[in-house]
């Protein structure tokens, strides 16, 4: 994709990765991603972030299209050192020889750890630091643990642009550059997926920092994340900030997710009976086989659900590997405000529901009694599953009011 002038003398010069299918362990299905970075033409020409290393050629081409083949870049601003954003940094430093490389205090440590550089003109810019580019100024705001310790936001008051790196991002390969050029529903889906699988553990940081942007006195007319579409206009900027505040609050909806794996279909039948009990009480239900659904797709549904029900037969005195993997992945993302329960079948030892219940309880979930069935569910045990669904539905209603 060619450079796009997003404001006067400010250019998107990123790369579209149409073929990326896995990102931090979460599936991108057929969505791909973008690596957004930006070039500001001023008295001091400034590059904000780079792109993934395999797109080094694309980055050079885009810079040349904006600045000419003998391009000179005076300043680099590195908001985050993860390789999808700083993968080209060493090559860019060698080629363009910047006067200054600005990064956060933790960014300096990460930069050294990643690149082991010598004699780079690195300058640390803690929160509140301001630099002049000529007609423009840049203000720096540390955003530690959003989602790495080195994360930083960069704000330009003259352009009214907030460069947010991973915050407000979406993994979505598109030819469009702005959110107002696509349908809102798939955009919000991609945003929620991204939040659920990357940003969710850092929700307290989101609430403290991003939800208080208005209190900082920043006049924002454009929000530029480093993945996905950009947001322009005050209305869209406020919309995306409000969405992040909504996600960070983790207020559950009238919704339950049942994820499971099954050996000979007994646990699967139990899941369907629980789902029927939930649905009969007016709860929206998602039943998700882990053979058919990637753990990140399940997490994208779990994020706003009031209840999570895990199912597995007993297998070698434990649970099936896909369920174990899902529980480990979910635990790392630290979902809050959930009701939990478990279902499972067994042949002789029967540890499954204890393992599942302990895992969900350890995540801080409010637990509803599990149901365990020997071998194949009968009419009576299917009724127990149905009643379990109704009991979970009653707990959901009490929780969400």
Residue tagged active-site, from 17, 42, 82, 304: 82
Q: Which of 85, 139, 227, 294 is catalytic?
A: 227
Q: Which of 85, 46, 60, 111 is nearest to 169 (CA)?
A: 85
Q: Which residues of 201-223 are buried (b: 16+ CB within 10 A; e: fewer)?
A: ebbebbbebbbebeeeeeebebb
Q: What kind and span of H or E run contains 55?
A: none
Find the helix packing angle between 379-400 and 266-280, rounded to 10°.
50
Active site residue 82: yes
Q: Give the Cα separation of 153 and 237 in Å (integer).
A: 15
**What radius of gyration do the chain's Cα atoms show?**
24
Out of 147, 294, 295, 315, the active site residue is 147
Beta strands in 202-338 (DSSP E): 222-225, 231-232, 253-260, 284-289, 305-311, 314-315, 318-319
| CA separation for the pair 393, 339 (Å, rounded) | 10
Q: Name residue, tokens 């009031």.
A: 306
How many residues does the structure list for the chain?
A: 401
To the query of whether residue 379 is one of the catalytic residues in this protein, the response is no
Which pair of tokens denotes residue 290? 């882990």
As a whole number of angstroms, the distance between CA 302 and CA 325 comes to 15
Q: 315 catalytic, yes or no?
A: no
244 labelled catalytic: no
What residue has token string 């080629």?
95
Q: Please identify which of the residues 155, 194, 244, 386 carries the catalytic annotation.
A: 194
Residues 6 or more apart whose Cβ sits within 8 Å of residue 178: 229, 230, 231, 232
Q: Is 227 a catalytic residue?
A: yes
Asked whether the beta carbons of 267 and 353 are under 8 A apart, the reply is no
Active-site pick, 17, 142, 159, 166: 166
Tokens read off for 269: 């039948």
Pick the catalytic residue from 80, 85, 139, 295. 80
Residue 114 designated active-site: no
Where are any strands of DSSP class E within 54-151?
Answer: 75-78, 100-103, 122-124, 130-132, 137-142
Query: H/E element holding 401?
Result: none
- Determine contact, residues 196/2, Cβ cutoff 8 Å: no
Distances in Å between the Cα of 199 and the Cα atoms of 7, 298, 326, 346 are 28, 16, 17, 37
* Residues with a known catalytic role: 24, 80, 82, 84, 147, 166, 194, 227
């Amino acid at each position: 994709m060619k450079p796009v002038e997003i404001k006067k003398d400010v250019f998107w010069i990123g790369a579209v990765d149409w073929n990326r299918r896995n990102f931090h362990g979460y599936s991108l299905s057929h969505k791909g991603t973008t690596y957004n970075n930006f070039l500001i033409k001023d008295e001091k020409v400034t590059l904000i972030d780079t792109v993934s290393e395999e797109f080094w050629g694309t980055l050079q081409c885009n810079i040349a299209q904006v600045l000419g083949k003998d391009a000179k870049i005076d300043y680099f601003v590195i908001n985050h050192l993860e390789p999808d954003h700083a993968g080209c940094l060493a090559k860019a430093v060698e080629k363009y020889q910047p006067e200054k490389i600005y990064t956060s205090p933790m960014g300096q440590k990460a930069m050294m750890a990643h690149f082991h550089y010598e004699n780079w003109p690195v300058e640390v810019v803690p929160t509140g630091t301001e630099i002049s580019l000529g007609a423009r100024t840049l203000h720096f705001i540390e955003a530690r643990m959003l989602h790495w310790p080195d994360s930083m936001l960069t704000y330009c008051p003259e352009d009214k642009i907030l460069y947010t790196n991973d915050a407000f991002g979406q993994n979505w390969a598109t030819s469009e550059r702005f959110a107002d050029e696509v349908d809102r529903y798939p955009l919000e889906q991609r945003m929620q997926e991204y939040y659920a699988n990357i940003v969710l553990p850092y929700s307290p940081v989101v609430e403290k920092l991003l939800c208080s942007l208005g209190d900082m006195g920043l006049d924002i007319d454009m929000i530029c994340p480093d993945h996905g579409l950009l947001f322009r206009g005050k209305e869209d900027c406020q919309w995306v900030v409000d969405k992040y505040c909504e996600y960070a609050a983790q207020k559950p909806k009238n919704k339950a997710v049942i994820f499971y794996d099954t050996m000979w279909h007994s646990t699967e039948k139990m899941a369907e009976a629980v789902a029927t009990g939930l649905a009969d009480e007016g709860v929206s239900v998602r039943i998700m086989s882990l053979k058919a659904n990637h753990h990140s797709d399940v997490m994208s549904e779990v994020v706003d659900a009031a209840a999570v029900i895990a199912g597995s037969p007993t297998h070698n005195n434990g649970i099936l590997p896909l369920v174990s993997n899902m529980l480990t992945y979910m635990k790392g993302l630290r979902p809050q405000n959930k009701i939990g329960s478990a279902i499972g079948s067994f042949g002789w030892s029967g540890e499954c529901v204890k393992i599942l219940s302990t895992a969900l309880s350890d995540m801080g979930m409010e637990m509803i009694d599990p149901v365990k069935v020997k071998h194949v569910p009968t009419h009576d045990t299917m009724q127990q599953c149905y009643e379990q669904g109704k009991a979970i539905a009653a707990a959901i209603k009490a929780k969400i009011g």
